[in-house]
Each structure stands twice: as structure tokens, then as C-alpha cells.
Structure 1
């Protein structure tokens, strides 16, 4: 006797259920892959932002180093000038006027040289 129609439909149901399950699993996997792609894209964008920010920080660090170096040089120069002024005052108070005149001349020359260096630096900045 040939299988009845009902038997054939029952035999097809488990296959259809398996197909439906497989399709649902494929849909879930595709949805998860889509989410993963989005997450990876967000990660790439954040990495790019971090790289840019890192470059900005490095350039700021270089600028701060240059400024710090300049401040150190200015401080040293100021200390030299203060020392000379103090020695001039001491020499005058002690009555050593020739020593005071020599130190005054040296201080004047130092300031002229310092201003000349500052001018040349300003010119270099204007015309690289």
C-alpha cells in the first residue's frame, strides 16, 4: 500500500521545521554579524580619533618643551643681570667706582647683546 497523503505531510513536517530552524539561525547569525560590523566600525572610528588626539598631544608636548626651555634661558639671563646689578651696588657702596663702572659697562653690553639676539629670533620667525 502506498503511503497516504497524511503520512507524506507528516514526513515533510520535520524537514520543514528543520528548514525553518535553519533559516531562523541564519537570520540570527546575520543580525549578530551586522552588530559586530557596526561595533568594529565604531572601534575603527574611535582608534582614528585617538590617533589624531595623540598627535595633537605630542605637538603640544613639543611646544611646552620649547616654551620651558625658553623660560629657563630667560631665568638664567635674569639671574646674571641681577647678579651684575648687585655687584655694581656693592662696589659703589664700598667706594670701588672703577669696578662699578666696569661692571656697569659689562651689564650694558650684555643687555645690548641680549636684545640683538631677541631681534634676530623675531626676524627668523617672520621669515622661515
Structure 2
């Protein structure tokens, strides 16, 4: 009985101090010890360690940013390599087309020269020479078409 009355007295005093108007049997207030960090933080060594940790975190953040930048650079480098490969392929294709055009131009000049020779031979009355040039023109045209077919197939 004495213990119960003492508990009631302590609770009522505590309730009046806390301005509580009711009794809470599950409420228990325990005084806490001061934090250790408060005592240690005043030491210069603790400040050094704290600065080192802050610096380490800052460096980790910077390293993360550098990693992201490096990954972006790698992606851009891959894209550039692909673009250069495409440009090189187009260059080779254009080079082949230019070579084919040059060959066609040379053969066209030869054919025009033969045609001019045929006309001059006919005007001069050299029918045998005109016939020979006509046959040669036919052979050149046949070989030209055969060569073009081979170039297109390849």
C-alpha cells in the first residue's frame, strides 16, 4: 500500500510539472546521459576526422560526376566511330562511282573519235577504212557493255 501511494504521489507531481491533466500509466520518463559526440567534438582530433569524412564524401560525389562525364565521353566516342565508319563507307562508294564515270568518259571519247574517223573516211571516199573503223567501233561497244555488266554485278 505504501508503494502504491508513493507511486501515485510521484505520478501526480510529475503530471502537474508536465501540465498533464490525466494519468498515463505507460509513460515513463528516463533521463538520458549527455551525448558522447558533444564531449568528443571539442577535441581537435575529432575535427580532423570530421573534416576528413566531409572531404571524402565530397570527393566521392566529384568522382561520381567524373564517372558520368567519362561515360558520356565514351558514348560520344562510340557514336563518332560509327559516324566515321559510315563516312568511310560512303567515301569508298563515291570513289568507285568516280572511277566508273572516268572509265565511261574515256570509252565515250574513244567511241566519238572512232565515229569522227568513220565520217572523215566516208567523206574522203575511203570505204574500206570506214568499214574497218565501223567494225572496231562495234567491238568497243560490245566490250563496253560487257564490262559495264561486270562492274554492275560486282
Normalised TM-score (structure 1): 0.78
Name the CA distance, whole Å, in 1 between partners of 2:41 and 2:145.
99
Name the CA distance, whole Å, in 2 between partners of 1:60 and 1:19.
61
Matched-pair contact (CA < 8 Å) for 2:40–2:46: no
1:107 counterpart residue number: 137
Aligned residues: 117
Name the CA distance, whole Å, in 2 between partners of 1:106 and 1:120.
21
1:88 to 118, 136, 142: 118
Normalised TM-score (structure 2): 0.66
SS of the residue 1:95 aligns to: coil
Structure 2 unaligned blocks of 5 or more = 1-37
Q: Which structure: greater helix fraction? A: 1
Structure of higher RCO (CA pairs closer than 8 Å, 6+ residues apart) = 1
1:44 aligns with 2:44: no
Matched-pair contact (CA < 8 Å) for 2:118–2:134: yes
1:20 aligns with 2:50: yes
1:58 aligns with 2:100: no
The Cα of 1:52 is off from its aligned counterpart by 1.1
Query: Which structure: larger Rg?
Result: 2
For the structure 1 residues 63 and 11, does the alpha-carbon distance in structure 2 shift closer, same or farther, using more than 3 Å as the test?
Answer: closer
Structure 1 unaligned blocks of 5 or more = 1-8
Name the CA distance, whole Å, in 1 between partners of 2:48 and 2:73.
37
